[in-house]
């Protein structure tokens, strides 16, 4: 006969883990961001906002998320439909699709850097085709949009699979009867997808979007590899202030901004994609 | 269990006694240099082995190094005989250092501009220059025919460098000049120790002066003919070897690979000069004797030994730091040492030589100090923002930094009372 306290007892390790490795560092960071020699202060936020790269870093981070996440959602949905339609080799295809997920973001950045750099694969290919005669500098400071595109590509290539995995799992939960019923009433494939699959996919879509968007705001290693300091992003500036400029307070302020944006978007998704009580499958 | 513990204590005690006894008998050489284990080992077994007497060479981080020196100075007695450190390590110790102006160096001629730095702004010789490293320029020999007429590669001016880079760009079809302007590059040292001093004779005080505006204008001109991939370069030896860059500026250690791998293809030469002189940033280490040294004669003897040509060459092998005296390097030195050694000698020995020291007294604000110069570069050169406005803006940041660190000026800026002013 399990005692009443058992569930709490079982939750204890996870709670302790979260408290030690999330809550404690979080309060420390928050304290760093708001504390100064004379007590509580907003001066670190002032330093951050007045830093000339801050507007660009904020803009680039938001733009990247806005450009990458919808594309990834669409692609993940398409790939998920494709995968779930397969009769044979479904697992194999899923494995192949998820290979980039196993690659660290820095490695992904470096792979794409090897393609785009001055002596990289892209220039070699173009040269071999006779399109260019001298190597083009793709990732130079004058062509920020190319760096932006390259980062987008790297992000999409590497991180779409995380959404795919969640959505495929979600699709597996949808009973076939709904689709078949719709088909009986004459719904075409597109209508079935829009009216049946998508609404029933809401919970997994919500999870996938929250996870992906939060990670998109934390984009760092790919940008560092592909753009260096030419494309400032919030996470890169956090690192820079903490380690190069040895200013933990301002770095903490940057981290708080990233946290605030992430929380904001999470709440937005929770509200937009909320699943009414009892409407689940 | 108990016996083991007692045994350990005895052993520890014996070690301590032995160490103490050794320290008493030997000349204690207390240094911040040659800290990596291999270098320390080489100092002990190669550099110091010829000294007539026993030397106990101890290399430390600057923090612990300073703590012990200060403690001995405060106590008025100590066991350190000779201090070894960078110029910046000595600045706060000036009052506790012996005057070495009458020291017998056995006839070697030490670089006079470094000797002057060794006075630390006083009338006394506070330290004797020991060794140096610096930043120089390297060119692919293919670039030499494009030198502007009348230009001497060993005495270039910034205008000639710009003309050279322009020639290269126009006649070879793409920009061939390169700067280490990547995130891991040392561009800030070029700005602080080369461009600024050469045009303004200052690094900090005249940060937003009219001369500084000219300097940035010149850099803008030069940048037009600079390989734009420079914003990704960290070690210039790489683009030099790949052929993407034909003329480059960097730290000697970051050019060595090119000079060693293809010694016949590259030449090393001094950095250019501007209206205020040939600004360059030597990393100078010096030797000093604290007033508390127990045996000053032995300490002076050790300093004399460290400055002899054979010791200076042994030091170069051990630490990659170059001699501060006139010396012919033997033939078995790596090509990079020979080439950059010659360039350094020409640069520091030039009539218009203007040494600009590494920032000092900034503590953990060093990174932010560098960032001011990098930000200024990124805003003016890469971002195309108006020079005057950016300089005024960044001068505010720089002023606040100097005040926060309360760091007095260092060469080439005139010594200041209190924080170095930004006019």
The tens digit of pLDDT for each residue in B214-240 reads 999 999 999 999 998 898 888 999 999
How large is the angle between the packed helices A54-85 and A90-97, nearest 10 degrees?
A: 170
B183/A228 Cβ within 8 A: yes
DSSP classification of residue B418: S
Question: What local confidence, expressed as pLDDT, does residue B18 receive?
Answer: 46
Select the residue from B232, B244, B369 to test the A interface by mutation, using most A Cβ atoms within 10 A. B232
**CA gap A151, B284 in Å, rounded:** 43
* pLDDT tens for chain A, residues 1 to 281: 567 889 999 999 999 999 999 999 999 999 999 998 888 999 999 999 999 999 999 999 999 999 999 999 999 999 999 888 888 888 898 888 888 888 888 998 999 999 988 778 998 999 899 888 877 888 888 888 999 999 999 999 998 999 999 999 999 888 888 888 998 998 888 898 888 889 899 989 999 999 999 999 999 999 998 888 889 999 999 999 988 887 889 999 999 999 999 999 999 999 988 877 665 55
Tokens found for residue B197: 């001093």
Report the C-alpha gap between A90 and A74 in whole angstroms.
20
Q: Which residues contact A17 (CB under 8 A, 6 or more apart)?
A: none
Facing residue for A119 by CB, picked from B242, B375, B379: B242
Instruction: Say whether B367 and A246 touch across the interface (CB within 8 A).
Output: yes
Q: Two tokens at B126?
A: 């506070």
Structural domains of chain B, ranges and CATH numbers in brackets: 2-133+283-327 (3.40.190.10), 135-281+356-405 (3.40.190.10)
A-chain residues within 8 Å CB-CB of B367?
244-246
Distance CA(A10)–CA(B21), nearest Å, equals 61
Q: What pLDDT sits at residue B330?
A: 84
Nearest to B231 among A53, A119, A228 (CB): A228
pLDDT value of residue B6: 53
Contact yes or no for A253/A48 (Cβ under 8 A): yes
Fold of A54-272: MetI-like fold (1.10.3720)
Please give the pLDDT value at position B16: 46
Which H or E element spans position B272?
A: none
Query: Which of B367, B375, B378 comes nearest A244 by C-beta?
Result: B367
Measure the CA–CA gap between A86 and A81, rounded to whole angstroms.
9
Q: Determine how β-strand B278-280 pairs with β-strand B353-355.
A: parallel
Task: Give the C-alpha separation, B86 to B362, whole Å.
Answer: 14
What are the tens digits of pLDDT across the range B329-354? 888 888 888 898 889 889 988 999 99
Total residue count of chain B as it appears in this document: 423
Helix (H, G, I), strand (E, B) or coil at B298: helix
Question: What is the distance between the alpha carbons of residues B137 and B281, in angstroms, rounded to a whole number?
Answer: 13
For residue B107, give both structure tokens: 């006839």
Distances (CA, A) of A18 to A212, B171, B249, B370: 21, 64, 50, 38
Using a CB–CB cutoff of 8 Å, tell me whether B149 touches chain A: no
CB atoms within 10 A of CB B78: 20
In the predicted structure, residue B20 carries a pLDDT above the cut 60: no
Min distance A225 CA to chain B CA atoms (Å): 10
Chain A residues whose beta carbon lies within 8 Å of the beta carbon of residue B183? 224, 228-229
Beta carbons of B357 and B73 less than 8 angstroms apart: no
Q: What is the CA radius of gyration of chain A?
A: 23
Share of chain B above pLDDT 70, in %: 94
- Contact by Cβ (8 Å): B213, B388: yes
Task: Give the number of A-B residue pairs with CB atoms closer than 8 Å.
Answer: 41
Residue that the structure tokens 């390590």 belong to: B89
């Amino acid at each position: 006969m399990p005692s009443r306290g058992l569930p709490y007892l079982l939750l204890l390790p996870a709670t302790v883990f979260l408290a030690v490795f999330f809550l404690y560092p979080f309060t420390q960071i928050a304290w760093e961001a708001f504390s100064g020699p004379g007590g509580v202060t907003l001066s670190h936020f002032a330093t951050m906002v007045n830093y000339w790269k801050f507007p660009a870093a904020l803009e680039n981070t938001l733009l990247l998320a806005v450009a990458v996440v919808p594309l990834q959602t669409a692609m993940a949905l398409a790939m998920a439909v494709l995968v779930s339609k397969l009769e044979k080799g479904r697992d194999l295809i899923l494995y192949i699709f998820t290979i980039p997920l196993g690659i660290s973001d820095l490695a992904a950045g470096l792979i794409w850097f090897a393609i785009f750099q001055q002596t990289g694969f892209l220039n070699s290919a173009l040269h071999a085709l006779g399109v260019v005669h001298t190597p083009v500098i793709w990732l130079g400071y004058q062509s920020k949009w190319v760096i932006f595109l390259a980062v987008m590509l790297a992000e999409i290539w590497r991180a779409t699979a995380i959404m795919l995995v969640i959505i495929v799992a979600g699709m597996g939960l949808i009973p076939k009867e709904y689709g078949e019923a719709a088909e009986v009433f004459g719904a075409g494939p597109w209508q079935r997808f829009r009216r049946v699959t998508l609404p029933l996919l809401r919970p997994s879509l919500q999870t996938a979007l929250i996870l992906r968007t939060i990670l998109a705001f934390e984009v760092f290693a790919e940008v560092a590899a592909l753009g260096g300091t030419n494309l400032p992003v919030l996470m890169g500036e956090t690192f820079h202030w903490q380690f190069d400029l040895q200013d933990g307070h301002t770095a903490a302020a940057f981290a708080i901004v990233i946290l605030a944006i992430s929380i904001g978007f999470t709440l937005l998704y929770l509200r937009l994609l909320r699943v009414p009580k009892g409407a689940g499958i | 269990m108990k016996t083991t513990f007692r045994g350990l204590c005895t052993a520890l005690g014996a070690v301590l006694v032995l160490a103490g006894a050794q320290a008493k008998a030997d000349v204690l050489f207390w240094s911040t240099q040659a800290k990596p284990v291999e270098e320390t080992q080489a100092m002990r077994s190669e550099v110091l082995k010829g000294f007539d007497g026993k030397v106990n060479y101890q290399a430390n981080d600057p923090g612990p190094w300073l703590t012990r020196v200060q403690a001995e100075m405060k106590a008025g007695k100590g066991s350190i005989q000779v201090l070894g450190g960078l110029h910046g390590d000595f600045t706060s110790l000036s009052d506790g250092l012996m005057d070495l102006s009458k020291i017998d160096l056995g006839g070697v001629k030490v670089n006079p501009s470094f000797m002057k730095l060794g006075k630390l702004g006083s009338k006394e010789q506070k330290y004797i220059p020991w060794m140096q490293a610096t930043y120089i320029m390297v060119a692919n020999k293919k670039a030499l025919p494009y030198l502007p007429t009348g230009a001497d590669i060993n005495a270039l001016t910034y205008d000639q460098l710009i003309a050279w880079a322009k020639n290269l760009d126009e006649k070879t079809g793409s920009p061939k000049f390169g700067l280490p302007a990547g995130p891991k590059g040392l561009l800030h040292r070029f700005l602080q120790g080369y461009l600024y001093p050469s045009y303004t004779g200052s690094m900090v005080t005249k940060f937003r002066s009219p001369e500084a505006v000219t300097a940035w204008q010149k850099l803008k001109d030069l940048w037009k003919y600079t390989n734009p991939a420079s914003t990704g370069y960290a070690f210039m030896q790489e683009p030099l070897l790949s052929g993407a860059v034909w003329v480059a500026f960097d730290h000697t250690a970051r050019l060595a690979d090119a000079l060693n791998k293809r010694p016949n293809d590259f030449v090393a030469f001094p950095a250019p000069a501007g209206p205020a002189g040939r600004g360059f940033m030597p990393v100078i280490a010096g030797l000093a004797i604290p007033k508390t040294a127990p045996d000053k004669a032995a300490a002076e003897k050790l300093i004399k030994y460290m400055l002899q040509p054979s010791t200076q060459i042994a030091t170069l092998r051990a630490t990659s730091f170059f001699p501060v005296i006139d010396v012919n390097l033997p033939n078995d030195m790596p090509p990079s040492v020979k080439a950059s050694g010659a360039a350094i000698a020409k640069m520091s020995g030039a009539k218009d030589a203007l040494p600009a020291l590494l920032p000092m007294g900034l503590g953990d604000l060093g990174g932010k100090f560098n960032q001011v110069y990098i930000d200024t570069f990124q805003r003016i050169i890469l971002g195309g923002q108006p020079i005057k406005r950016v300089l005024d803006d960044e001068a505010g940041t720089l002023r606040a930094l100097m005040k926060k660190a309360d760091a007095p000026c260092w060469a080439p800026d005139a010594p200041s009372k209190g924080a170095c002013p930004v006019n």
